[in-house]
Chains A and B, each alone.
Chain A
């Protein structure tokens, strides 16, 4: 079972350049820290996915073992684990995160409204 979960997680990480495992969904976060993480990535404008694992205890256990990180949310960028906003916040201030995102997406974020 945990091998299947591991494969499922590997697939999800590969399919999403920015992936947040959290409590609740993008439209209905069910935890303040998950909401904070969604707001954090909204500011950047790059696409990201949130996967709700609140009720999925077994998957949460596999995720914690994979990452040595006991808490949710858990953020993966370009296949690499970056913890949560406690780590990403300082990385944003230092400019490191902007560089990583730039390299990951290869282009600046698309503005939501395009002018002709």
Chain B
């Protein structure tokens, strides 16, 4: 089991600007719909975007806190600063 705040923390530790939406699909805190938007995704293929999120979630997937994720990613426009 893992709570929403810990999921968000894992993702933003690797993708600082990520906007993360989390939905507990089963009410058992281990199967989630996660949607992530970030400017880091721009110029990246869909698979690379997913791999970035999975890499961030790796510790929780590996130790079994997180069983299943249905993932959606969205690239945000990168504005010149």
Contact = CB atoms under 8 A, between A and B. Distances in A.
Contacts, number: 27
B58 interface: yes
A81 interface: yes
B8 interface: no
Interface string A57-82: 00000000001111100000000011
Contact of A82 (B47, B69, B71): B47
Given A81-B47, A83-B47, A68 B55 contact: yes
A90 B51 contact: no
Contacts of A82: 47
B54 A68 contact: yes
A69 B54 contact: yes
Interface of A: 67-71, 81-83, 86-87, 90-91
27 contacts: A67-B51, A68-B51, A68-B54, A68-B55, A68-B58, A69-B50, A69-B51, A69-B54, A70-B54, A70-B57, A70-B58, A70-B61, A70-B69, A71-B68, A71-B69, A81-B47, A82-B47, A83-B46, A83-B47, A83-B50, A86-B50, A86-B71, A87-B46, A87-B47, A87-B50, A90-B46, A91-B46
